[in-house]
Homo-oligomer: A and B are copies of this chain.
Amino acid sequence: MNVTVLAGGVGGAKLAHGFALCQPEIDLTVIVNTGDDFDHFGLKICPDLDTVCYTLAGLANPETGWGRKDETFEAMRQIGELGGPIWFRLGDKDLATHLERTRRLKEGQRLTEVVAAFCRAWGIKARVLPMSDDSVRTMVKTREYGWMGFQEYFVRQACAPTVEEFAFEGIDHALPADGVVEALESSHLIVIAPSNPWVSIQPILSIKGVASLILSQKAVAVSPIIQGQTIKGPAAKMYREMGIEPSPLAIVRHYGDLLWGIVIDELDRNFEAMIVSSGIMTLSTQTIMRNEQDRFRLAKEILAFYKDFNPNHQPGREF
Which residues of A line the B interface, CB within 8 A?
40-44, 72, 74-79, 81-85, 91-93, 95-97, 99-100, 102-104, 106, 117-118, 121
Contacts and interface: CB of A to CB of B under 8 A. Distances in A.
Contacts of A40: 103
Nearest to A104: B84
Given A82-B121, A95-B95, A41 B100 contact: yes
Contact of A74 (B42, B93, B100, B118): B93
Contact of A75 (B44, B75, B79, B106): B75
Given A92-B72, A93-B78, A96-B75, A117 B83 contact: yes
B78 A96 contact: yes
A172 B8 CA distance: 50
- List the 8 shortest-distance A-B pairs measured between CB atoms, nearest first: A78-B96, A74-B92, A84-B100, A42-B102, A41-B99, A92-B92, A75-B96, A79-B96
Given A72-B92, A84-B96, 19 more contacts: A40-B103, A41-B43, A41-B102, A41-B103, A43-B99, A72-B74, A74-B91, A74-B93, A75-B92, A75-B93, A77-B93, A78-B92, A78-B96, A81-B96, A81-B121, A82-B121, A83-B117, A84-B99, A95-B95
